[in-house]
Structure 1
Amino acid sequence: MRLIQHPILCNYYVTYRCNAKCGFCDIWERPSPYVTIEQVETNLISLKKLGIKVIDFTGGEPLLHRDIDHFFAFAKKLGFITTLTTNGLLYPKHAEGLKGKVDMLHFSLDTAHKEKHDTMRGVACYDHVMESIQIAKSLGERPDILMTVFEDNIGEIEKLYTDVCLPNDLILILNPSFEYNEVETGSELSNQSLETLTRWGKKKNIYLNQAFIQLRRDGGNQTEKPVCKAASTTLVISPENELLLPCYHLGTKGFAIDGDLEKVYHSTEAQKLIKLEGRLPECQGCTINCYMQPSFAVEMNKYFWLALPSTFKYNWIKGTWRQLV
């Protein structure tokens, strides 16, 4: 049973450019412009009218955009819940400007071992994350640590939790790795690793959407009966100011927005693609967390009930649950 009919999340790519070179991501390899202030303001007003609750300014590395502070300020003015994930390299520069404007501030950190993390990210950023944590806390912010979990770093959870998160009272977000396009992310998470993640997800100050685990056990999205509601729950806007459908990772078409996002979204051609969400050949077996998380929130099924406790737990701690009701 569908509970919410309108989209609830916008993944807004302010640029694809990045100052890191993570081996499990190909976004940084793409040429990219930067979005403009006029585009962002116009689109945010339309997103509000379309029912969007959460704006995730993303990239690439979103802090590469010189106007990122303004984007967050405008989004908060319109009443959006805002999220930001950064590798930490530029956070110290933007920290003052972002103060009080980011509801969910995530610092990417995949291990408590400096050399290993920097190798995974392709650039020396571990020390910058450590510095960013202290700066954020000094400003009264409540950052989280976002750990992308692979087979070769799942054993790092304990040290990251005990050495970094608990002493700083940070939430550790466990983000199971996923494959897309031709990006190599290593072997799939084993059943043993899925069990390990499940156990960790029950601990204090750890967020793990248990529906992610069940979806992997079920073989991912199934095109004959899709759980993915990517296009109807999530709007994706590119740095070229296009609406991407049905999602960023498997998107088949970009629609030029030209100052009227609502018109584009409701157009016959866009709606045809939206109805194909989760049913395209590329959607078979998909486990992309970015789109499954909102998918689990809008339709009452077993994934909805599995996702509910952890989602409520996280939003209760962050104080954002009232805005999601």
Structure 2
Amino acid sequence: MRIINHPILCNYYVTYRCNATCSFCDIWEKPSPYITIENFRENLKDLKKLGVKVIDFTGGEPLLHRELDLFLEESKKAGFITTVTTNCLLYPKYSERLKGKIDMLHFSLDSPDEEEHNISRGVKCFDKILDSIQITKENNERPDILFTVFEQNIDKIERVWKEITQPNDLVLILNPVFNYNNVETGENLSEKSLQKLLWWGKQKNVYLNEAFIELRKDGGNNINNPICKAASSTIVISPENKLILPCYHLGTKEFAIEGRLAELYSSEVVKDIIALEGKLKECEGCVINCYMQPSFAVEMNKYFWKALPSTLKYSLLKGTWKQLF
């Protein structure tokens, strides 16, 4: 049963450019412009009209955009919840400009071992993460540590929890890796690893959306009975100021926004594409977290109930629930 009939999240790609070369991502390989403040202001008004609650400023590396603080400030003033994920290479430089403007700030960290993390990211950024944690403590801010879980690093969760997140009173977000297109992310997580993640999700200051695990156990999205509501729950805007449908990772259509996002999103041609969400052949078996999470929130089914306890746990830890009312 559908309980929310409007998009709740905007994945706003401020640029595809990145100063890291992560092996499990291909976004950094794309040539890319940066979004403009003029386009952003036009789109912000329409996102409000469409009912969006959260704007995820993403990339690439979002801190490469020198006006990111302005986008965040205007989003906060308009009543949106803001979120940014960064590799921290630039966070020490821009921390003062970003202070108080990000509701959910995520620092990407995949290993407690400096060399291992740097190799996975293709750049030396481990020390910048530790520096950034100290800066946020001085600024009375509380980032999350976003740990992308692979079969080969799942046993490193304990050390990250004990050595980094618990001593600094940070939330550890466990992000099970997913495959898409031709990007090589290694073998799928085993049943043993999925069970281990469920155990970790119940520990103090650890967030794991249990519906992610349930969906993987079920074999992912089924195109004959799709759980994915990517296009109707999430609006994806590219650095070229285009609406991408039905999602970024499997996007098959792009539309120039040209100052008419709300009108475009409500048009018949876009509605026809939205009607195909989760039903395309490429959607079979999909478990992409960034679109499944909002999908779980807009329709009441078993995944909704699996996601609810962990979602409430995170909202209470971070206080973001207050901004939804």
1:11 aligns with 2:11: yes
Corresponding residue number in structure 1 for 2:203: 203
Corresponding residue number in structure 2 for 1:122: 122
Distance 2:253 2:96 in 1: 38
1:217 aligns with 2:217: yes
Alpha-carbon deviation of 1:316?
A: 1.0
Question: Contact 1:137–1:143 (CA<8 Å) still a contact in 2?
Answer: no
1:38 aligns with 2:45: no
Cα-to-partner distance string for 1:186-213 (whole Å, 9 max, x where unaligned): 0000000000100000000000000000
Which is worse superposed, 315-324 or 31-40?
315-324
Normalised by the size of structure 1, how large is the TM-score? 0.99
Corresponding residue number in structure 1 for 2:164: 164
Letter in 1 for 2:177: S
Cα-to-partner distance string for 1:227-280 (whole Å, 9 max, x where unaligned): 000000000000000000000000001110001101110111111101100000
Gaps of 5+ in 1: none
1:293 aligns with 2:289: no
Cα-to-partner distance string for 1:24-57 (whole Å, 9 max, x where unaligned): 0000000000000111111011101100000000
Within 5 Å, which residues of 2 pair with 1:93-172? Answer: 93-172=93-172
Alpha-carbon deviation of 1:303?
A: 0.3
Corresponding residue number in structure 2 for 1:262: 262
Corresponding residue number in structure 1 for 2:187: 187
Corresponding residue number in structure 2 for 1:239: 239
Distance 1:36 1:232 in 2: 25
Distance 1:45 1:141 in 2: 28
Corresponding residue number in structure 1 for 2:78: 78
Alpha-carbon deviation of 1:317?
A: 1.1
Gaps of 5+ in 2: none
Corresponding residue number in structure 2 for 1:27: 27
Partner of 2:203: helix, strand, or coil?
coil
Letter in 2 for 1:105: L
Q: Percent identity?
A: 67
Partner of 1:184: helix, strand, or coil?
coil
Aligned residues: 325
Corresponding residue number in structure 2 for 1:316: 316
Distance 2:276 2:168 in 1: 44
Which is worse superposed, 315-324 or 230-239?
315-324
Cα-to-partner distance string for 1:39-97 (whole Å, 9 max, x where unaligned): 11110111011000000000000000010010000000100000000000001111111
Corresponding residue number in structure 2 for 1:229: 229
1:173 aligns with 2:184: no
Distance 1:172 1:299 in 2: 26
Distance 1:233 1:324 in 2: 16
Alpha-carbon deviation of 1:322?
A: 2.4
Alpha-carbon deviation of 1:324?
A: 2.7
Distance 1:12 1:94 in 2: 20
Question: Contact 1:229–1:278 (CA<8 Å) still a contact in 2?
Answer: yes
Distance 1:324 1:22 in 2: 34
Distance 1:161 1:324 in 2: 29
Calculate the aligned-residue CA RMSD, in Å. 0.6
Distance 2:226 2:233 in 1: 14
Alpha-carbon deviation of 1:285?
A: 0.1
Letter in 2 for 1:257: I
Distance 2:128 2:254 in 1: 35
Letter in 2 for 1:258: E
Distance 2:199 2:303 in 1: 18
Partner of 2:290: helix, strand, or coil?
helix
Letter in 2 for 1:311: T
Partner of 1:169: helix, strand, or coil?
coil
Partner of 1:145: helix, strand, or coil?
strand
Distance 2:287 2:40 in 1: 29
Partner of 2:25: helix, strand, or coil?
coil
Question: Contact 1:54–1:83 (CA<8 Å) still a contact in 2?
Answer: yes
Cα-to-partner distance string for 1:129-181 (whole Å, 9 max, x where unaligned): 00001101111111000000000100100000000000000000000000000
> Following TM superposition, where does structure 1 have runs of at least 4 consecutive aligned residues deviating by more than 4 angstroms?
none
Distance 1:188 1:33 in 2: 34
Normalised by the size of structure 2, how large is the TM-score? 0.99
